Chain A
Amino acid sequence: KNQVEQSPQSLIILEGKNCTLQCNYTVSPFSNLRWYKQDTGRGPVSLTIMTFSENTKSNGRYTATLDADTKQSSLHITASQLSDSASYICVVSEGSGTASKLTFGTGTRLQVTL
């Protein structure tokens, strides 16, 4: 069964600090991996999408890495801000990449404090 596991489940950091969120998956065949940010009460917003051949992609202070051999991805947040407080969801796409082929992680809840 395809699975996406994220760690940690929750994280509290001080504003200005860096943090790294982890995503391990068993989805096969792999198509792409996406990281989403979901603010409380809102829908997820895409941060990055990476295909098999990409091992790093940045979006401002967010940098995602992908190791397709070990089936691991990480999302690194640099110089965190209060607005980074949200859930971060890792999503892995299988094969055709249609919505039915997406496997969602349960997310990491990040809280940035003063």
Chain B
Amino acid sequence: KAGVTQTPRYLIKTRGQQVTLSCSPISGHRSVSWYQQTPGQGLQFLFEYFSETQRNKGNFPGRFSGRQFSNSRSEMNVSTLELGDSALYLCASSLLLSYEQYFGPGTRLTVT
């Protein structure tokens, strides 16, 4: 069974640009969560989706948004990029809400 895949794996953007990251969950999993990981902060929760609906949102500005499609694939978008947005963005999928999460390899975003 294929694991969680994230594309692209690496991305370099400049301040002010916007970026879209993609996550394909494990087949059959209906819940997708997104996290930001930085060296000093650890993993910070961004959003959680289930059946195309955002169930929870973390404490991030409105520049961070996301969505989930009918096939459970998810995308997150960051507009007006700032230097502080440089991080590893991780996606995790689970069969249902509150079930064990399986993480993807992440997308390394660098903002210059």
Contacts and interface: CB of A to CB of B under 8 A. Distances in A.
Contact of A49 (B41, B97, B100): B100
Q: Is the interface of B mostly helix, strand, loop or mixed?
A: strand
B106 A100 contact: no
* Interface size bracket, B side: 20 to 34
Interface string A13-48: 000000000000000000000001000011111100
B58 interface: yes
Contact of B45 (A102, A106, A107): A102
A45 B103 contact: yes
Interface of B: 4, 31, 33, 40-45, 48, 55-58, 90, 92, 97-98, 100-106, 108
Interface of A: 36, 41-46, 49, 89, 96-100, 102, 104-107
